[in-house]
Amino acid sequence: MSPDLIDLSYLLAASLFIIGLKGLTKPRTAVRGNLLSALAMLIAVAATLRHQDIVGVTGLLIAVGIGSFVGTILALKIEMTAMPQLVALFNGLGGGASVLVAGAYLAGKEFSARVASGACFTDVLTATAASGLIGAVTLSGSLVAFAKLQELKFVKDVSFPGQKLLNLFLAVGAIGLGWMLVTQPEHAQAWYWVMACVATGLGILLVISIGGADMPVVIALLNSYSGLAASATGFVLNNNLLIIAGALVGASGLILTRIMCKAMNRSLGAVLFGTMQSGGTSLSDEEVYTSVRSTSADEVAMMLEVSQNVLIVPGYGMAVAQAQHAVRDLTNLLLNRDVDVQFGIHPVAGRMPGHMNVLLAEADIDYERLKEMDEVNSTMDQVDVAIVLGANDVVNPLARTDPNSPIAGMPIIDVDKARTVIVIKRSLSPGFAGIANPLFAADNTLMLFGDGKKAITEITKAFDDA
Amino acid sequence: MSPDLIDLSYLLAASLFIIGLKGLTKPRTAVRGNLLSALAMLIAVAATLRHQDIVGVTGLLIAVGIGSFVGTILALKIEMTAMPQLVALFNGLGGGASVLVAGAYLAGKEFSARVASGACFTDVLTATAASGLIGAVTLSGSLVAFAKLQELKFVKDVSFPGQKLLNLFLAVGAIGLGWMLVTQPEHAQAWYWVMACVATGLGILLVISIGGADMPVVIALLNSYSGLAASATGFVLNNNLLIIAGALVGASGLILTRIMCKAMNRSLGAVLFGTMQSGGTSLSDEEVYTSVRSTSADEVAMMLEVSQNVLIVPGYGMAVAQAQHAVRDLTNLLLNRDVDVQFGIHPVAGRMPGHMNVLLAEADIDYERLKEMDEVNSTMDQVDVAIVLGANDVVNPLARTDPNSPIAGMPIIDVDKARTVIVIKRSLSPGFAGIANPLFAADNTLMLFGDGKKAITEITKAFDDA
Amino acid sequence: MLFSILAVQETVAEVDGTVETLAKVVSAVTEAVPQSGGAAHLILLLTVFVLAVFLGIEIITKIPPTLHTPLMSGSNAISGITLVGAVLATGADNGPWATILGFSAIVFATMNVVGGFVVTNRMLAMFRTKK
Amino acid sequence: MLFSILAVQETVAEVDGTVETLAKVVSAVTEAVPQSGGAAHLILLLTVFVLAVFLGIEIITKIPPTLHTPLMSGSNAISGITLVGAVLATGADNGPWATILGFSAIVFATMNVVGGFVVTNRMLAMFRTKK
Ligand SMILES: NC(=O)c1ccc[n+]([C@@H]2O[C@H](COP(=O)([O-])OP(=O)(O)OC[C@H]3O[C@@H](n4cnc5c(N)ncnc54)[C@H](OP(=O)(O)O)[C@@H]3O)[C@@H](O)[C@H]2O)c1
Ligand SMILES: NC(=O)c1ccc[n+]([C@@H]2O[C@H](COP(=O)([O-])OP(=O)(O)OC[C@H]3O[C@@H](n4cnc5c(N)ncnc54)[C@H](OP(=O)(O)O)[C@@H]3O)[C@@H](O)[C@H]2O)c1
């Protein structure tokens, strides 16, 4: 295949990536969009294999085979609730690949020939260094994020005085080493690996102090970085496709990061430096929880029987309890009895954007029943019973009322304005933000303590018997 | 200025064009968006002037001065109602510039040097020919469109048997001449100008047989072509900025064309070949207009007094009568008396997309009162009085009821479903599509015959006196 | 790529004329500018074009019908970007005929550009909200 | 540009060595490939990058919150495009160390790519409407 044909194939692949991403703008076309992106990747790799310089295709195919096999197994075996971890892991692998590719380039013959010829090629070296640096931070940062999300025991939240200073020091150091690489190409390999090690350390330290629930933001950001690393590699290899695909991913990660930060009403800086506004004047648990009333599954079933509009607000607890299938059964039962059921999905409910949607879709709940926050808030006064299932921060009215609370100003789902609120959780313990929730003690709230899945199953049973 | 700096300025200009176009997505940011686009153009031209090859800047500045002066005068003096003509004229000038630039390139020294050197550069020649061909068609086509819209006497609808065949022949001829140009660069100039003449003839013949009201579609299409011509020029001159700006314009023209065709329920082919489905079984005027009832301004004023919701549906007649300011006065008066006034804007009301919006905005009517077709149709049953002001085809219920009518299937504003309809026009003569309108004879319709502006002014006066 | 090779071939042929030299120069150029030649460069330009078309479609479909007339005149003004081409064609020392053509091209293109932006601005200024 | 000139300079210098030759070759290359040199080429790549970023922003902001998790895993899979780089780095005859690095890079990148697309597909398949 002539180089021009390869270039044209790359252009085709880039176009398919774009069309594929466009497909994701509608649930109806999303599956096809994803397949188009996969096809684009296939075309890109196939075209690359036809490159005249490529020797030893067997080895390549073995590597591809191993990677595909492991990747597919992981992707098929994973529980839907473990999605955040999986994305973190894959992201780390992508970063690792970047580091290795740049390293391989520096170890290769073409590079040594160029260095020997004494030609100056600062731009290529800069891009190599950038791709290695970003890749290493992505690799280690993502792996730490993975470990935290998977709740691996050996990873603890580490924070010590002077940590920010150390991070700054490492960052400057890594950039400095990259600079040495560019200016002394004859020792490029040595500088490169030292830089990669420092950047790896930086990635670990950056992420280790960030709270587990902030991980999705970190992952989105690291994903954006890995896109930029791919773009940088594209500048190194003079390859359009890498530049375009990398830029698309970079944009996607940045936008997701912004959406999440906005929905949590926190600045990106606050997330990255692991700071939560300390809840200055926030009330203590005793003060808040003076008049908590609890209820039983039977009582809830009776209330549902006389309701017309039911709103279910799921949160991280639904994921923990794996309650989505139980919820589906309850929903179908209610719909059969002419009770209208809607779902109120907060943008940062759960642990990654769209987390609840995926779980509910897994349980075969029609996505047209899933409403966004603004939509349900505007019709909240018509809701007879709002069931809060393992959600906490996203329905905490303090966000509206207490300007000193750590979640002050975060938009929430106003379930407290529904006629009756049922909150299903195991205890009065706080959610991710670590603050008490006055909703639990409100006059129109009843607590149903217990595991989410068990509670819903009991309600369904009681309702069916009635 | 070094070539690289110029290239960077071009990149900046391209980005500003993109950001400028993005500004047009919201009325609030649109003015700034347009200014950004203008700034981008300024940067592009200024950077080009710093090009090392540029000599004799004085001559250039004189040319720019003349062009700016004439352009500004035209832009400031023109009536808002004459906007379609003006766009057609400007578009033609752009096409003409393309033809001249490509011609100048072929007449230049760089070109002759290249030809003398015997080097083969098919791609550049192809792009030159394409830019000349498209430019010439755009030039003559736009000028004919201009003449038709301006209703210049000497331009008649011309159609004769075998016209399509002749067009095809000219198109093939022009492309053949372009091909000669590419294969015989030593006679490039001769081939070029013959090709330009043939293409000019083609442009005239293509447009001369198209009905006046279809001109906006033609203009949008020609605008798209002129964008593509600019892109082709960019390939000739190896200039990114031309390629990007041209592609943006090309996309814009194509999308506008598609929107208009869709709203008229006609295929692009039908517009271009000047065919209107002949209204086979459509009824004659006598059959339709058996029970037309007319009314007076005083009567209308009395009806308005007891109304709560008034819908005004403007059409091409409002533009002809220049009635927008009178409409504003009536609207304000009604609003003062607590009558709610909305405007129903059909996508192809008037003679170009968004035509009515511009006129009403000129008269200072808040754009939040201007509703799109679907929105007003969904609330039509709450409308007490619908005033149809110089609109005809866009409110013709035949589109829904008569599958043989030329406008069958075109979505319309369903004013016939309002409680009372007032139609203001000068006579029972048809609109652009040339068919009778049963709305005028409907039970709930009253005709108010007369010039649009005069009628509205009289209603306002009667209403104010009451 | 082709051009550079041809040009280098000629020049060097004048100077030396041996086949070996030609081969060496050609391979040197080929190695040094592996991607900058005719077809590869053309594909790069094509990539830019394709991306810009995609981008144009995304943005334009977001523009509301209210602003379609200004869009038409505004994008028409942008299409006057051939002005840059006109300046390049006129400015170089290219002989009288080319200069005359270029001069008229500039006049036409500037009318298109300046007139287009001014009239678009006039229209858009009317759309400022009145609240 | 710089590279090509330098490379041509060297090769020709070996062959002939006279200053005139150099000058002639350089000017020939400069004329023949006026835009394909280092910095100009870089700017072209930069243009591609900028356009792709704009396009990415336009498209991504249109994706509804419902699909944000699949978007995250899907775009993560796309970022595995470094796979192409890995193949290029491994495939060339580059010595054992580079080959080992490249091999591992391919394994990692393929896991990212294949796993990412498969899991995204699994998620999206759940979103098919049930009516
Ligand atoms: N989605 C994102 O993209 C994203 C990203 C970053 C950060 N965050 C943060 O994550 C939080 C998400 O809010 P959220 O309301 O969904 O969750 P949350 O505030 O973290 O609260 C989850 C609640 O679920 C309950 N729970 C846990 N396991 C349960 C089980 N098996 N059965 C029943 N209940 C169970 C817990 O209470 P018990 O222990 O008493 O049962 C807990 O209060 C927000 O603060 C958001 O800012 C989200
Ligand atoms: N907007 C676009 O982009 C576009 C593009 C292409 C084609 N078109 C076509 O243009 C047509 C537009 O429909 P339309 O309903 O707006 O217009 P129309 O169907 O052309 O009807 C205009 C009506 O206005 C009346 N009129 C003319 N001068 C008047 C005056 N001074 N005072 C009062 N009334 C006056 C005329 O009746 P009298 O002579 O009896 O007064 C005529 O019936 C559609 O068929 C559409 O397909 C539009």
Mean pLDDT of A131-149: 91
Q: B318 alpha carbon to ligand 2 midpoint, in Å?
A: 8
The answer to whether A157 faces chain D, any CB pair under 8 Å, is: no
> For the segment A325-361, what is each residue's pLDDT rounded down to a tens digit?
999 999 999 999 999 999 999 988 887 788 898 889 8
What mean pLDDT comes out for the span A138-148? 91
Distance C33 CA to ligand 1 centre (A): 56
Radius of gyration of chain A (CA): 26
Q: Which residue has the higher pLDDT, B351 or D121?
A: D121
pLDDT tens per residue, range D18-32: 333 333 433 343 343
What confidence tier does A126 reach under pLDDT thresholds 50, 70, 90? Answer: confident
Are B369 and B432 contacting, i.e. CB atoms less than 8 angstroms apart?
no
Give helix then strand counts, H and E, for chain D. 7, 0
User: Closest by alpha carbon to B76, among C69, C123, C109?
Assistant: C123
- In this predicted structure, which of A20-29, A283-292, B353-362, C19-28 has the lowest mean pLDDT? C19-28
Are A229 and A300 in the same domain? no
Average pLDDT over residues A359-386: 90
CA distances from B160 to A317, B163, B201, B272 (A): 76, 6, 15, 15
pLDDT in tens, D50-89: 999 999 999 999 998 888 889 999 999 999 888 888 888 7
Task: Check whether residue A73 and residue A131 sit in a common domain.
Answer: no
**Cα(B387) to centroid of ligand 2, in Å?**
15
Residue A306 tokens read as 């006389």
For D42, nearest residue in chain C (alpha carbons):
C36
Confidence of residue B343 (pLDDT cuts 50, 70, 90): very high
Residue B340 to residue B386: CA distance in whole angstroms: 12
Residue B54 domain flag: yes
pLDDT (0 to 100) of residue D30? 37
Tell me which residue range forms the domain holding A438: 285-465
pLDDT band at A155 (very low <50, low <70, confident <90, very high): low
Given this model, what pLDDT does residue A243 score?
A: 93
Tens of pLDDT, residue by residue over B18-48, are 999 999 998 889 999 999 999 999 999 988 8
Determine the Cα–Cα distance for residues A14 and A41; give it in Å rounded to an integer.
9
Query: In angstroms, rounded to a whole number, what is the distance separating the alpha carbons of residues B267 and B247?
Result: 23
Same domain, A203 and A118: yes
**Domain identity same for A338 and A442:** yes
Per-residue pLDDT, B399: 85
- Residue partners of B338: CB distance under 8 A and separation at least 6: none
B91 and B64 in a common domain: no
Mean pLDDT (whole number) for B460-464: 90
Interior/surface letters A236-263, b for 16+ CB within 10 angstroms, e for the rest: bbbbbbbbbbbbbbbbbbbbbbebbbeb
Q: How far apart are CA A376 and CA A169, in angstroms?
A: 47
Res D12 pLDDT > 50? no
Please answer whether residues A346 and A373 qualify as being in contact, where contact means their C-beta atoms are separated by less than 8 angstroms: yes
Q: Do chains C and A touch (3 or more CB pairs under 8 A)?
A: yes
Dihedral sign from CA coordinates of B368, B369, B372, B375: positive
Say yes or no: CB of residue B344 within 6 Å of ligand 2. Answer: no
CA distance linking residue B350 with residue B345, whole number of Å: 10
Task: Assess if residue A280 is contained within a domain.
Answer: no
Instruction: Tell me how far apart the alpha carbons of residues B8 and A165 are, in angstroms, rounded to a whole number.
Output: 37
Residue A277 lies in a domain: no
Query: In this predicted model, what pLDDT tens digit does every residue of B68-82 receive, in sequence order?
Result: 999 999 999 988 778
Q: Determine which of B16-20, B127-131, B284-288 has the lowest per-residue pLDDT on average.
A: B284-288
B280 in a structural domain: no
Model confidence at A283, pLDDT cuts 50, 70, 90, reads low
pLDDT at A279: 44
The answer to whether D7 contacts C29, with C-beta atoms less than 8 Å apart, is yes
pLDDT at D5: 36
With an 8 Å CB cutoff and a minimum of 3 pairs, decide whether chains D and A touch: yes
Predicted local distance difference test score (pLDDT) of residue A439? 93
CATH code where residue B384 lies: 3.40.50.1220
Q: Which of A381-385, B142-146, B360-364 has the lowest mean pLDDT?
A: B360-364
Looking at residue C12, what is its pLDDT?
Answer: 35
DSSP string for B52-100: TT---HHHHHHHHHHHHHHHHHHHHHS-GGGHHHHHHHHHHHHHHHHHH
Q: Residue B86 pLDDT > 70, yes or no?
A: yes
- Residue B419's alpha-carbon distances to A94, B346, B354, in angstroms, are 65, 20, 27
B410 pocket-lining for ligand 2 (C-beta < 6 Å):
no
Q: Domain boundary at B18, B46, B77, which?
A: B77
Handedness of CA B102, B107, B112, B113 (dihedral sign): negative
Question: What is the per-residue pLDDT across B411-434, written as a single tens digit (0 to 9) for each?
Answer: 899 999 999 999 999 999 888 777
Whether residue B248 sits in one domain with residue B106? yes
Average pLDDT for residues A192-214, to the nearest whole number? 88
Same domain, A266 and A291: no
**What positions of A carry a catalytic annotation?**
393
Say if residue C43's pLDDT is above 70.
yes
How far does the CA of residue A317 sit from the closest CA of chain D (Å)?
Answer: 18
Is the distance from the beta carbon of residue B127 to the nearest atom of ligand 2 less than 6 Å? Answer: no
Q: Would you put residue A425 in left (φ > 0), alpha (ψ -120 to 50) or beta?
A: beta
* Closest approach of B245 to chain D, Cα-based (Å): 12
pLDDT on residue C128: 62
| pLDDT confidence of residue D33 | 37
Task: Label residue B368 by pLDDT band (50, 70, 90).
Answer: confident
One domain for residues B381 and B241: no
> In the predicted model, what is the mean pLDDT of residues C36-63?
86
Burial (CB < 10 A; 0-12, 13-18, 19+), residue B422, is buried
Domain termination site, one of B244, B272, B300? B272
Does pLDDT of B366 surpass 60? yes
Instruction: Name the band, by pLDDT with cuts 50, 70 and 90, for residue B162.
Output: confident
Check residue D17 and give its pLDDT: 36
- Listed range (A85-89, A222-226, D77-81, D88-92) with the worst mean pLDDT: D88-92
Q: Quote the mean pLDDT of chain B.
A: 87
The token duo for D82 is 């470094």
Q: What percent of chain B has pLDDT over 70?
A: 94
pLDDT of residue D69: 87
- The pLDDT assigned to B152 comes to 76
Roughly what angle, to the nearest 10 degrees, separates helices C82-91 and B27-49?
10
Contact A320, A82 (CB under 8 A): no
Specify the pLDDT at position A275. Answer: 56
Mean pLDDT value across chain A:
87
Write down which residue in B77, B107, B134 finishes a domain: B77
More confident residue, A267 or B135: B135
φ, ψ dihedrals at B273, nearest 5°: -95, 15
Q: Look up residue B368 and give its amino acid.
A: E
Residue A256: inside a domain: yes
Of A129, A134, B22, A246, nearest to D49 by C-alpha is A246
Each residue's pLDDT tens digit, A171-185: 999 999 999 998 888
The number of folded domains in chain B is 3
- Which value, in Å, is the radius of gyration of the alpha carbons in chain D? 24
Active site residue B381: no
E strand map for A266-352: 309-314, 340-345
Residue D118, pLDDT score: 94
Residue C78 pLDDT exceeds 50: yes
Record the tokens describing residue A380, joined without a space.
């909240």
Please indicate, yes or no, whether residues B38 and B97 belong to a single structural domain of this protein.
Answer: no
For ligand 1, pick from A393, A407, A423 the residue to mutate: most ligand atoms within 8 Å of CB: A393
Question: Does B212 lie in the same domain as B64?
Answer: no
Residue B409: closest CA among B424, B391, B397? B397
**CA-based nearest residue to B411, from B392, B388, B394, B434:** B394
More confident residue, D50 or C128: D50
Q: How far is the CA of A425 from the centre of ligand 1 (A)?
A: 10
Whether residues B7 and B154 fall in one domain = no
Examine the domain organization and report whether A71 and A91 are in the same domain.
no
Interface of D with A in 48-67 (CB under 8 A): 48-49, 52-53, 55-57, 59-67
Give me the pLDDT at residue D90, please: 75
Q: Any idea of the CA torsion for A202, A205, A206, A212, to the nearest 10 degrees?
A: 150
Domain contains A18: yes
The SS3 call for residue B450 is coil
What SS3 state is found at B45? Answer: helix
The answer, yes or no, to whether residue B305 has pLDDT greater than 60, is yes
For residue B165, the tally of other CB atoms under 10 A from its CB is 9
